[in-house]
A and B are shown apart, each in its own frame.
Chain A
Amino acid sequence: MNELNNNRFDHCHECIISIEDVSFYYENKTPVIQNLNFKIFERDFVGLIGSNGAGKSTLLKMLVGLIKPVSGNIRLFDQPISEFRDWDRIGYVPQKNAMNPFFPATVKEIVLSGLYGKKKMFKRLTKRELEKCDDSLQALGIEKLAHRRIGNLSGGQQQRAFLARALINNPDLLILDEPMVGIDAETQESFFHMIQHMHKQHNITFLMVSHDVDMMYSYLGHEAIHTSGKLKFYVKHSHDLEDCVETDLTHSLKGFIKGEALKI
């Protein structure tokens, strides 16, 4: 199974994430992740399922460089993670944002902050980038909340703001840690449709943690492609993209979401 996964598309797709013999433990030394090998290729949708404390969030934090593996290597877009610089290619939404609820920022300020980073240091935002912010807000149906303070919004609305922030760079890879927690059932459904659309029609690779097994099974099938400890990986690969006229992610989503009537 292991071998199978790791050699799946070596011939035709870029390897987006390569986890090579990675182990990790926190200070108390109880192993959280042990000798994990897994590859995620372009156009994969990887669902990561596992019980509480299985190490899902830990793995995701390692993949975005917040913590370092104790042993083993991680490669992103075919570069060792220590040399990787194109962080704007990755959109990351951490599990329940541990943000200070009194932080005085507006939704718009938070979404724009997705553009900030090393590459934008000392540079002003362009008009194009400001437009992209509006597009991201519209994509998630929260344009009316743009000027509200984040702390005054419901949990689901806040979660959308963080998703909009992850989308603003038009990332090639989205890493989502339980993105639908606190979002009502109806919105979850259209959100999942939106994600599927991004996957099937926009060449976006996904790594998503979710406890919503039914929704994951329905898209990814019941067969885990790889198991390691309590972590289970489910994969759907869309080799041939269906046509979508728009190339810009947020633009096309706007039209899509309108049809899906994503309500606030």
Chain B
Amino acid sequence: MDLDIFLFPFFQKTLFVGFLIGIVAPLIGVFIVLRRLSMIGDALSHVSIAGVALGFIIEVYPLALGIVFALIASFAIEKLRKAYPSYAELSIAIIMSGGIAFASVLFTSGKGFNINVQDYLFGSIVALNTADIWIVFAVTLIVITFVVISYKELFLVTLDEDAASVSGLSTRLYNILITTLTALVISVVIKIVGALLVSALITIPVACSLVVGKSFRHTMWMAIIFSEIAMMGGLIIAGIWNFAPGGTVVLLSIALLMLSFLFSRKKSL
């Protein structure tokens, strides 16, 4: 056990970034989960990791390239979903394996050997630099602003696409906005939790809140609260005992999910 960890600036940075991610991941996650797009999170993260790997090799800021890759993938998914509606899941699966395949080739080729692959697959609490923090901060602001400003429209598009288009909203535009923001969020979350577990961070707190939520608004707040408990708790535990942060945070959120099931059982009995 190592309580000195709190004194290290790198860990304070990690907690701060974790706090921001703890807000945006479930905020965008609510819409992803309710629109049954959970798979998209996985696909985007697997593609984003290829961008990160490429960034290392050609010496471009990896996070930026990860974001670009995730954005391209999100548009590709949107296009495929539109073109082949009945094969939506298949196309997502193909994009996902394509991404991780590309990443694995890059990671194991020439310069790629220098990358600490494990950090990108499982996350790391020491890997953040100042630029990363600014980017996470910017993404947080963008997502919060978007959700606050478009709350009504997001609600309607998520509840009922037909009703949304009858009232003049472009469901297509909102689909694109939601997946784009998801791509942004996922790319910045990868650093801390790792590509393999990113989508868990976006979906599990939402799953918890769906169990206990009394209304849509309440569900959103509860998702953020669950997410922060798992994130802060997980990072602190991981820091003290030197565990992989991603795994710790996700295990903690699964524990919360079970608790919320138990709690709601009791209530309804």
Residues on A facing B (Cβ under 8 Å): 61, 64-66, 85, 87-88, 90, 92, 94, 97, 99-100, 102-106, 108-110, 113-114, 116-122, 125, 147, 149, 165
Contacts and interface: CB of A to CB of B under 8 A. Distances in A.
A166 to B, nearest CB: 9
A118 B165 CA distance: 9
27 contacts: A61-B162, A66-B162, A66-B166, A85-B168, A87-B167, A92-B163, A103-B34, A103-B159, A103-B216, A104-B34, A104-B215, A104-B218, A105-B155, A109-B155, A109-B215, A109-B217, A113-B155, A113-B159, A116-B152, A116-B153, A116-B167, A116-B169, A117-B156, A117-B164, A118-B167, A120-B152, A147-B214
B210 interface: yes
A56 to B, nearest CB: 16
Interface residues of B, number: 27
B159 A105 contact: yes
Contacts of B156: 113, 116-117
Interface of B: 34, 36, 149-150, 152-153, 155-156, 159-160, 162-169, 209-210, 213-219
A66 B34 contact: no
A171 B214 CA distance: 30
B262 to A, nearest CB: 18
The 5 residue pairs across chains A and B that have the minimum distance between CB atoms: A117-B167, A118-B168, A104-B219, A104-B213, A116-B152
A66 B168 CA distance: 10
Given A113-B163, A116-B156, 11 more contacts: A85-B168, A87-B166, A92-B163, A94-B163, A99-B160, A104-B210, A106-B215, A117-B167, A117-B169, A121-B169, A125-B152
Nearest to A169: B167
A94 B34 contact: no
A106 B218 CA distance: 10
Contacts of A100: 34, 36
A149 B169 CA distance: 25
Contacts of A108: 215
B160 A97 contact: yes
Given A85-B168, A99-B159, A121 B215 contact: no
Contact of B214 (A65, A102, A116, A149): A149
A94 B167 CA distance: 14
B126 to A, nearest CB: 38
Contacts of A109: 155, 215-217
Nearest to A125: B152
B93 to A, nearest CB: 22
Contacts of A90: 166
Which of B156, B163, B164, B217 has the most C-beta atoms of chain A within 10 angstroms of its own C-beta? B163
Given A94-B162, A116-B167, A106 B214 contact: yes
A177 to B, nearest CB: 11
Given A102-B210, A113-B159, A116-B155, A149 B167 contact: no
Residue of B152, B162, B209 with highest tally of chain A CB at under 10 A: B152
Given A116-B153, A117-B169, A147 B215 contact: yes
Given A88-B167, A104-B215, A106-B215, A121 B210 contact: no
